[in-house]
Amino acid sequence: MIDAAGLRVMKAIADEGSFTSAANALGFTQPAISQMVRRLEQRTGTVLVERYGRQVRLTEAGQVLARHAVGVLAALDAAEEEITAIAGLRAGRVRLQAFPSSSATLVPKALAILRSRHPDITMTFTEAEPPQSLAALRAGDCDVAVIFATKDVDAGELVEDLSLLVTRHLLDDELRLATPKDHPLAQTGTASLSDFASEDWIAGCPRCRAHLVGLADKAGFRPTVSFEIEDYVAQLGLVTAGLGVALVPDIILNAAKHDDVATLSLSPVSQRQILAVTTPDLLRVPAVAAALDALCAAAGADPSTSPAELAASPA
Amino acid sequence: MIDAAGLRVMKAIADEGSFTSAANALGFTQPAISQMVRRLEQRTGTVLVERYGRQVRLTEAGQVLARHAVGVLAALDAAEEEITAIAGLRAGRVRLQAFPSSSATLVPKALAILRSRHPDITMTFTEAEPPQSLAALRAGDCDVAVIFATKDVDAGELVEDLSLLVTRHLLDDELRLATPKDHPLAQTGTASLSDFASEDWIAGCPRCRAHLVGLADKAGFRPTVSFEIEDYVAQLGLVTAGLGVALVPDIILNAAKHDDVATLSLSPVSQRQILAVTTPDLLRVPAVAAALDALCAAAGADPSTSPAELAASPA
DNA sequence: GGTAATGCATAAGTGTCGGTTATGATGAGG
DNA sequence: CCTCATCATAACCGACACTTATGCATTACC
């Protein structure tokens, strides 16, 4: 019934004191104001403007509208300002969920980059395994999910359903074998998984353990898992102590130097992709795009890389 | 840029959770919502709604709009309610100005009638002589002016410029001559002004005195004004004491019985009209119309009487 | 896993709203 | 008394916003 334009007109009349100057103030012509007032009057069924001679002044009802106009227009301006702030990266919030081992280096670095680039964007971060973070993304509880997906193996169920989502390749993470430095095969550089079939194994989370078992199964043995510890630093501690060997992702090894362990490339190589995932619509939200760029920068990946479609090519 | 309709739509989507049910809630069809959102998005340049699969949810920017919508729409509703309250006589204010002697009976009675009919209308009242009240009316500082104007005499300048105004006849007030009860002519009923040429006269305000002098001039004498007292009760007191005679309007005499004075009709009759005046636009304001009706009722006049146009007919 | 149902997007059509220019009427001022 | 200034009105016109009809995708169910 009453719209913002009408309020704007009433306020302009109240401020300017005449239709003509109100029209000038609003960038309209005088007849526009004239019939705008008439429309408002027949909509509300009240007299809003008192025409006396060639001067006009607001009636009580008209003053009511003009008075309310101040608050309403201010609120509209505030809303508009907030929107443009979000559009201009001067405000906004990005909810990030990432799998635990990425929290070590990738996520903190990305957060730092984002903050330095856009200090007014707030980023919230939650650790979550890929299935959980993707569920949150689908449920709308999360804006960006950082997940990993194995390229090669279909033994483990690490490839999630990424339909309806867009992914951005961050980096390829190689799974390396960590052994004590004095292990016989420590200096060989590359080794086959089966070479360590009789070793004691240190596994991490259930998913990681399942992956290990899957890889070993392809290599033809069943690993003896003597330790289950999720924390990779603790795992490397066990390796250092000579209590076993472990599969450790490259990003963990790169995070800090571990002089007391040797790492071997596996043959066949076991790589997993680390991906940032979001939805097509959120990709067009400036803050989300900035967060993805920050993640790419943190990973050293090319930010302009087109999204890697993984769903259709499990290789 | 952002209008109330857009906010309403965003809020409906936020509340209902889908375009379709939002459309139902607002009485629109689904495509209307769809392209309304699209318009809003390309106006603001931001993504407001995230489409995931066949479900939709608001982005941060969309939530900003939905959040502001609550306040804005509430303010609009409040404004609308105030307007309809004014239109429905459940609110409103009437600023009345009336000349002093009308305050005795007419105005209080009218105020009482108005209050009993429409208890929620506030009426403010200021005493003012006709020129002042009409000036206030023209300046927009007053809604209804109660004035008097002499029908017959053009000696006094009691006829104001009533162009651009509408008048409503309240009652005809006859100017009567008040004498002591024991005056020789007290029982004659009707007398000529010249019969009292040699009496001591009691006059009131400057305008009233001018009127008296004007009437006497037409009757061929110059009155001896021994007293000038504005208050009519005091004037009657002087008359009672036998100190002189006075011209007193009928409405004063009717207000209370004064057993110790005799009143005579004048020949020629000196009548003045008591009028309620307002502007054409204000006449269409319910509260003003109600106030005029109350004044008519208080005066015992027919409320349906068409406005008496006095300006063109001073005879 | 095929099929039906559901929900959003798009296209085309249409009316009305809200603006313009042009013109008239009328009060205010020199 | 004439002129200027202001509001009202008329005629015109484009664009916006809603409709119906349809397509396309996902989701759910058998």
For B5-27, what is each residue's pLDDT tens digit? 999 999 999 999 999 999 999 99
Measured CA to C1', the nucleotide nearest B53 is: D26
CB A291 within 8 A of CB A143: yes
> How far A173 CA lies from chain B's nearest CA (Å)?
29
Residues of B in contact with A277 (CB under 8 A): none
Measured distance CA(B34)–CA(B82) in Å, rounded: 33
Among B52, B59, B140, whose Cβ lies nearest the Cβ of A50? B140
Three-state DSSP state, B96: strand
- Would you list the domain boundaries of chain B? 4-87, 94-299
Q: What is the pLDDT of residue B314?
A: 31
pLDDT tens digits for range B78-134: 999 999 999 999 999 999 999 988 887 899 999 999 999 999 999 999 999 888 899
Would you place residue B308 in the very low, low, confident or very high pLDDT band (cuts 50, 70, 90)?
A: very low
Q: Which of B51, B72, B80 sits opposite A75 (nearest CB)?
A: B72
What is the predicted pLDDT for the residue at A151?
63
Question: What is the DSSP code (8-state) at residue B108?
Answer: H
Mean pLDDT of chain B: 87
Give B64→chain A minimum CA distance, Å: 7
Interface test with A, best of B57, B76, B77 (most A CBs within 10 A): B76
Q: Which CATH architecture has domain B94-299?
A: 3-Layer(aba) Sandwich (3.40)
Q: Count each helix (H run) and each strand (E run) in chain B, helices first.
A: 11, 12
Instruction: Identify the residue whose Cα has the smallest distance to the C1' of D8.
Output: A34
Contacts of A140 in chain B (CB under 8 A): 50, 52, 57
**Residue A183 tokens, joined:** 């292990």
pLDDT in tens, chain A (315 residues): 899 999 999 999 999 999 999 999 999 999 999 999 999 999 999 999 999 888 899 999 999 999 999 999 999 999 999 999 999 999 999 999 999 888 878 999 999 999 999 999 999 999 998 888 999 999 999 999 999 887 654 544 456 778 789 999 998 888 889 999 888 888 888 888 889 998 999 998 887 888 888 888 888 899 999 999 988 888 999 999 999 999 998 888 887 778 888 999 887 787 888 999 999 999 999 999 999 999 999 988 666 544 444 433 332
Chain B residues closer than 8 Å to A86 by CB: 46, 60-61, 64
pLDDT at site B101:
82
* CB atoms A64 and B46 under 8 Å: no
Please choose, from the candidates A18, A168, A8, the residue with its C-alpha nearest in 3D space to the C-alpha of residue A96: A168
Q: Please tell me the predicted confidence (pLDDT) of residue A302.
A: 63
Q: Which of A104-113, A151-160, B177-186, B266-275 has the lowest mean pLDDT?
A: A151-160
Q: Which of residues 25-44 of B touch A (CB under 8 A)?
A: 44
pLDDT in tens, B196-216: 999 999 998 887 888 888 888
- What is the per-residue pLDDT across B139-169, written as a single tens digit (0 to 9) for each? 899 999 999 887 654 544 456 778 789 999 9
Q: pLDDT band for B257, please (50, 70, 90 cuts).
A: confident
- Token pair in block for residue B163: 């162009």
Distance from CA of B294 to the nearest CA of A (A): 20
Number of other residues whose CB lies within 10 A of the CB of residue B124: 11
B87 touches chain A (CB under 8 A): yes
C-alpha distances (whole Å) from A289 to each of A112, A141, A226, B306 are 15, 17, 43, 72
From chain B, pick out residues whose CB is under 8 angstroms from the CB of A76: 2, 68, 72
For the domain A93-299, what is the CATH code?
Answer: 3.40.190.290
Q: Which of B55, B59, B278, B285 to mutate to test the interface with A (most CBs of A within 10 A)?
A: B59
**Per-window interface: A 88-107 vs B, CB < 8 A:** 92-93
Contact B65 A83 (CB under 8 A): yes
Chain B, 225-284: which have a CB under 8 Å from a chain A CB? 279, 281-282, 284
Contact of B127 with B261, CB cutoff 8 Å: no
What's the CATH fold of domain A4-87? Arc Repressor Mutant, subunit A (1.10.10)
What backbone phi and psi angles, to 5 degrees, belong to A218?
-65, -30
Which residues on A lie below 8 Å from B282 (Cβ)?
Answer: 47, 50, 59
Q: Name the one residue in this structure whose structure tokens are 């070479």.
A: A195
